Chain A
Amino acid sequence: MDFLNALVAFLNYVFVPGVAYGSQLALGALGVTLVYGILRFSNFAHGDTMAMGAMATVLMTWLFQGWGISLGPLPTALLALPFGIAFAIGLLLFTDRAVYKFYRVKKAKPVILVIVSLGITFIYNGVTRFIIGADDQNFFDGERFIISAREFKAATGLAEGLSFRTTQGITVVTAVIVVIVLFWFLNKTRAGKSMRAYSDNEDLALLSGINPERVVMITWIIVATLATIAGVLYGLDKSFKPFTYFQLLLPIFASAIVGGLGNPVGAIAGGFVIAFSEVTITYAWKKILVYLMPENLEPSGLVQLLSTDYKFAVSFVILLIVLLFKPTGLFKGQSV
């Protein structure tokens, strides 16, 4: 029995990665949920919007690195992030003008907009691959660890090390700041209030003099910002590869639906539910159980419920369960 080592192993392999991944999903799901709440369709292009924003950031980072500008221990990507966001805002506003607006004015069915967003997905995906290629790109620099496993072991004398990577720290801190600012904006400012009013009841909002085009514009700006931040954080933490962003769609949608589509609090909760389910179900628990069990009861296998290749299956099963039992999500989302 070695409780302390088990706890450290749990923190190192389950808790910290789960929190970081959960923050990334939460930011992605917030974007999806906002589009759903205001524009009333499921935006399939969100994953590739993340890829586009991240791509712009990666390119700026390389430029800065070429000029020799850096942020010291922090990754240069943080400095490039505002440029990536600006690019994504321009891109989304342009897309809205060129594509979505037509269908909005026509009051097309939501499913048509979903198909349109699928078309946008592939154009974005094509452009991303065209510009930066389909391969993994590394754009991380600066200090790798806040706490490295070796230092931790030396400092505490435990057998298990706890490592806390810079990217994980940045992810969590950024996510917290973004969420606070977003909720302040939605609850305290005039523009935010008009957004919520529009989301609750379009007709009443129009009657009280809210300009719908302005609401839509603000929504796209916020969505672009959230998507770029989520994309860059995911890229820093794992790696930047265009196709992975398309695959992120499923966990992101699962997060948004689990929390309740259209509900920002739900999106955050959903992100963490999905992330922790994925990590706990695909983690090989042997290491932790070895510390907790008496020696003769130690598990012989890896005690891994599902191989990591099935991590999509986890979000999918959770999605199915929620659809079956609580279609509006854990927090009350919009209509079924």
Chain B
Amino acid sequence: MNETMKNTALFAIVAVMILSVGFQSSWNSALLIVAMGLVSSIMALGVNLQWGFAGLFNVGIMGFVALGGLAAVLVGMPPTEGAFAAGGLGVISALLLGAGTIIAAIFVMRKMTPGWQRTLVVIAVLIAGFFLFRGLLDPSVERIEEINPAQTGYLGGLGLPVLIAWPVGGIFAAAAAWVIGKTALGLRSDYLAIATLGIAEIIIAVLKNEDWLTRGVKNVIGVPRPVPYEIDLQNNPSFVERAAGLGFDPVEGSTLYVKLLYIVLFAAVLLILMWMSQRALHSPWGRMLRAIRDNETAAEAMGKDVTARHLQVFILGSAICGIAGAMMTTMDGQLTPGTYQPLRFTFLIWVMVIVGGSGNNLGAVLGGFLIWFLWVQVEPMGLWLMNVITAGMAEGSALKEHLIESAAHMRLLTMGAVLLLVLRFSPRGLIPEK
């Protein structure tokens, strides 16, 4: 069996599994799996760029995805009436001042001769800048959050078409990646892992606590969509007629239609990114990256700038995760900072990349679909397993209740086990690197 056939067969198996969900339960859940599978594949593509091409270990995918979500809110949501007048300028100047402080500190670092005087000046600049920043930020934030806190209480967005948010999400993530990469790349590989773990936690903390920006845990709901609303379709006689012609009632027809539109949009993004990644992989740049990955010392001796290449690929991969994050928030229609968990948004993507085949873009896409499917299905399967195990136990016994209740935690276990098994017995994944 040649390679193309094997790959086609693998994708076909995943397709059959998803189709069987459609036949057995509902087409809505099957289409949702496809849509989220596409988003997951894009994230996996980004991580594959970092890990598969360059061997960089990023444990902060969650943070970059969340930044994409933030972009969807900042670009797509309508601006809050009066919020900008109340404190917008204050917040923006505070942020500029904060950035200026850091630039000033770096400038002092570069220009002054090393010694205790330089250290003192840098510390003084940072402390003065911090207090000015807080002094400027806090009153503006208070004024913004006073505006109708139950409904808005935040700055709102620019009110632009939400599709613009997708590249913007990528830019946000790229900026965060630049900061991390600048500090942690070029050191031991573990340091990047720890630094990304940290930035992800901090980004989530900011999203949860800066109410003026994201409404915090009050969530932003009703992010505008690039596709029509179901309710409008149901009220549209020509759509109802067409749905009836295909044998769907208006409600089911409209939900399926909306999901299909999302799938088309997502698939377009995936295809573009996939094409770009493939081109990158086979370009001289891609070969250089793999050379660096396989033997850093030799590549450096050949005159390759290892740290600069790493920084590039780290920023690119993170940007892709940011784009996927913006897409996901667009489809959800809401930004809920409380739902960002490292398991779901960092670890799961890693399992996708490793299972699919690190270093192979097609593998990342396959892993994205397959693992997302498993992720969705493990919980009902776990519950079923627990029901089978506990079938013989007395009704209402404490152990039985505990076991059935714990079925939800099966996901963690299963995903951990899948990762370890693949790493051990098939470290190159389902579709190995050529």
Q: A249-B197, A336-B187 are in contact. Are A127 and B413 (CB under 8 A)?
A: yes
Indicate whether B387 reaches chain A with its CB closer than 8 angstroms: no
List residues of chain A with CB within 8 A of the CB of B419. Answer: 115, 118-119, 122
A126–B194 CB distance below 8 A? no
- Of all chain A residues, the one with the shortest Cβ separation from B423 is A116
Beyond A42-B194, A119-B416, A319-B195, is A130–B202 a contact (Cβ under 8 Å)?
Answer: no
**Min CB–CB distance A49 → chain B (angstroms):** 14
Minimum Cβ distance to chain B for residue A300 (Å): 11
Q: Is the CB of A122 within 8 A of B406?
A: no
Closest Cβ–Cβ distance, residue B11 to chain A (whole Å): 25
Chain A residues within 8 Å of B350, by CB: 115, 118
Q: Which of B184, B193, B199, B201 contacts A323 (CB 8 A)?
A: B184
Residue B354, interface by CB 8 Å? yes
Among A295-320, those with CB < 8 Å from B are 301, 305, 307, 309-310, 312-313, 315-316, 319-320
- A-B residue pairs, 9 tightest by C-beta: A126-B412, A126-B413, A122-B416, A123-B416, A316-B198, A42-B190, A119-B419, A129-B409, A119-B420
Give the Cβ gap from B311 to chain A, nearest Cβ, in Å.
15
A interface secondary structure, majority: helix
Please state if A327 and B201 are interface contacts (CB–CB under 8 Å).
no
Q: Which of B195, B405, B424 contacts A320 (CB 8 A)?
A: B195
Cβ contacts A to B, 8 pairs, < 8 Å: A109-B189, A115-B419, A118-B419, A119-B420, A125-B412, A126-B411, A131-B406, A323-B184
For the complex, what is the distance from the CA of A120 to the CA of B421, rounded to whole Å?
11
Q: Kindly identify, within residues 32 to 65 of chain A, every residue whose CB is under 8 Å from any CB belonging to chain B.
A: 41-42, 44
B191 to chain A, nearest CB (A): 6
Contact A111 B420, beta carbon cutoff 8 Å: no
Give chain A nearest CB distance to B410 CB in angstroms.
Answer: 7
CB contacts (< 8 Å) of A114 on chain B: these are 57, 189-190, 193
Contact at B420–A120, with CB atoms within 8 Å? yes
Contact between chains at B413 and A316 (CB < 8 Å):
no
A122-B343, A253-B194, A336-B188 given; A323·B183 CB < 8 A: yes
Chain B CB within 8 A of A134 CB: yes
Q: CB distance A111 to B424 under 8 Å?
A: no
B55 interface residue, CB < 8 Å from A?
Answer: yes
Q: Is A92 an interface residue (CB 8 A)?
A: no
Q: Which of B389-414 contact A (CB under 8 A)?
A: 405-406, 409-414
Asked whether, in the complex, the Cβ of B347 is within 8 Å of the Cβ of A313, the reply is no
A115 and B423 in contact, given A41-B190, A129-B409, A336-B187 (Cβ under 8 angstroms) = yes
Contact A122 B183 (CB under 8 A): no
A250 CA / B187 CA spacing, docked (Å):
18
Count chain B residues whose beta carbon lies closer than 8 angstroms to a beta carbon of A.
Answer: 44
Contacts of B184 in A (CB 8 A): 323
Give the residues in chain A near B209, CB-CB below 8 Å: 307, 309-310
Given A120-B420, A129-B406, A310-B202, are A327 and B412 also a contact pair (CB < 8 Å)? no
Q: Which residues of A contact B (CB under 8 A)?
A: 41-42, 44, 99, 102, 109-112, 114-116, 118-123, 125-127, 129-131, 133-134, 246-247, 249-250, 253-254, 257, 301, 305, 307, 309-310, 312-313, 315-316, 319-320, 323-324, 327, 335-336
Q: Do B202 and A312 touch (CB < 8 A)?
A: yes
Cα–Cα distance between A102 and B195 once the two chains are bound (Å): 28
Q: Which residue on B lies nearest to A320, using beta carbons? A: B183
B319 at the interface (CB under 8 A from A): no
Confirm or deny: B289 has a beta carbon within 8 angstroms of a beta carbon on chain A: no
B415 within 8 A of A: yes
- Which single residue of chain B is at the shortest CB-CB distance from A252? B194
Question: What are the residues of chain A within 8 A of B304 when measuring CB–CB?
Answer: none
CA distance A309 to B220 in the complex (A): 20
Q: Given A125-B412, A126-B409, A126-B410, verify A250-B198 contact (CB < 8 Å).
A: yes
Q: Could you say which of B183, B195, B201, B420 contacts A99, with CB atoms under 8 Å apart?
A: B420
Tell me if B385 is interfacial: C-beta within 8 Å of chain A.
no
Find chain B residues with CB under 8 A from A327 CB.
187, 191
How near does chain A come to B325, taking the closest CB pair, in angstroms? 20
Q: Once the chains bind, are B406 and A310 in contact (CB under 8 Å)?
A: no
Contacts of B415 in A (CB 8 A): 122
Q: Tell me which residues across on chain A come within 8 A of B195, comparing CB atoms.
A: 316, 319-320, 323
Nearest to B348 among chain A residues (CB) is A122
A110, B191: Cβ atoms under 8 Å? no
Residues of B within 8 A of A319 (CB): 194-195, 198
A122 touches B201 (CB 8 A): no
- Within the assembled complex, what's the spacing in Å between the Cα atoms of A315 and B59? 17
B342 within 8 A of A: yes
User: Is B205 touching A130 in the complex (CB atoms < 8 A)?
Assistant: no
CB-CB nearest in chain A for B201: A312
A241 to chain B, nearest CB (A): 14
Instruction: Tell me how far the C-beta of A113 lies from the nearest C-beta in chain B, rounded to whole angstroms.
Output: 9
